[in-house]
Amino acid sequence: MNSKLDFEFYKKSADYILSKIEFVPEIAIVLGSCLGNLSEEIENKIIIDYKDIPNFLDATVDSHAGKLILGDLSGKKVVCMSGRFHYYEGYDFEELTIPMRVMHLLGCKMVILTNAAGAVNESFVAGDIMIIKDQIKLNGASPVRGKNIPEFGPRFFDMSNTYDKEYIEVAKKAAKISEIDIKEGVYFYMPGPQFETPAEIRAIRALGGDAVGMSTVTEAIVAAHCGMKVLGLSLMSNMAAGILDVPLTTEEVDETAERSEKKFRVLLKNILKQI
Ligand code: HPA
């Protein structure tokens, strides 16, 4: 348990970032491997390396960049996290509170969480985009366990509207405008870094999961705790283990992500326009 994580700890990160910008970002966007290049389109941008932000975490996964990009996108003031943090990298769940709490202290009222995930629902195909309507996290501790910090939110809090229904409708409308056939479903968290076994995927399906991935859920919990609205979008980078008779590889995940990046980008920009 990391007792250093008090309100002032997070505030130090936020104050540093605020000292570098002259606007309040409205929307935080966490770029998963499916949206790596989106930040190129941000205008009037200010880039801050994670490693320069006091008390922030530093990204350890190669393909993720480790930068905060702040500026304008589709007429909105945004802060993009290019590079996110996962439990499998060795962080405690408690440390994974840092990004969302800092985004909240910057003034963000909403976060768009994106990720690449394995398709568990057999009616999905690789390359599909799924709007997350709910999540299941049965593995590991809550990121907000330990002494509650009331400046962020109450000890016990509701998770029944975590993926905001209004934003789900906005995303569906944006998908229509973008001429994208959009899916909707439940994101099931697995800690990784190993991909799942076929038996685990059958269990996840029986429990109600439509997609499986190693990120997003802690961010959604922390955002819900501090009252930020959440929209979640998953790119189906592969069919989950055991559905097809082929082993899963990172190459396949990255390839599909790359192939679908443009579609994802168009959708995201249309979502921002509708908000
Ligand atoms: N399982 C877990 N995480 C993932 C997968 C998967 O099949 N694909 C992309 N991220």
Structural domains of the chain, count: 1
In a domain, 43, yes or no: yes
Give domain status of residue 28, yes or no. Answer: yes
229 CA → ligand 1 middle, Å: 25
Q: DSSP assignment, residue 75?
A: T
Q: What is the CATH number of the domain that holds 29?
A: 3.40.50.1580
Q: How large is the average pLDDT for residues 215-236?
A: 97
> Tens digits of per-residue pLDDT, 8-48?
999 999 999 999 999 999 999 999 876 777 888 899 999 99
Nearest of 44, 162, 160, 140 to residue 94 by alpha carbon: 140
Rounded to whole angstroms, how far apart are CA atoms 269 and 106? 22
Q: 84-98, 159-173, 212-226 — which is least confidently predicted?
A: 84-98
Q: 172 lies in a domain?
A: yes
Domain annotation covers residue 1 = no
148 annotated ligand-binding residue: no
Query: Do the beta carbons of residue 189 and residue 179 sit within 8 Å?
Result: no
Task: Write the pLDDT tens digit of every residue in 144-176.
Answer: 999 999 999 999 999 999 999 999 999 999 999
Specify whether the CB–CB gap between 197 and 247 falls below 8 A: no
- pLDDT value of position 249: 87
Per-residue pLDDT, 61: 59
User: What was the pLDDT predicted at 254?
Assistant: 84
Name the residue range of residue 174's domain: 7-273
Is residue 146, in this structure, part of any structural domain at all? yes
Q: Is residue 120 within 8 Å of residue 204, measured between CB atoms?
A: yes
Could you count the other beta carbons within 10 Å of the beta carbon of residue 270?
Answer: 19
Q: Is the pLDDT of residue 2 over 80?
A: no
Judge whether 2 lies within some domain: no
Residues 144/220, Cβ–Cβ less than 8 Å: no
63 is in an annotated binding site: no
**pLDDT at residue 251 in the model:** 86
pLDDT tens, position by position, 109-144: 999 999 999 999 999 999 999 999 999 999 999 999
pTM of the model: 0.95
190 CB under 6 A from ligand 1?
Answer: yes
Q: Please tell me whether 196 is known to bind a ligand.
A: yes
Whole-number pLDDT of residue 13: 97
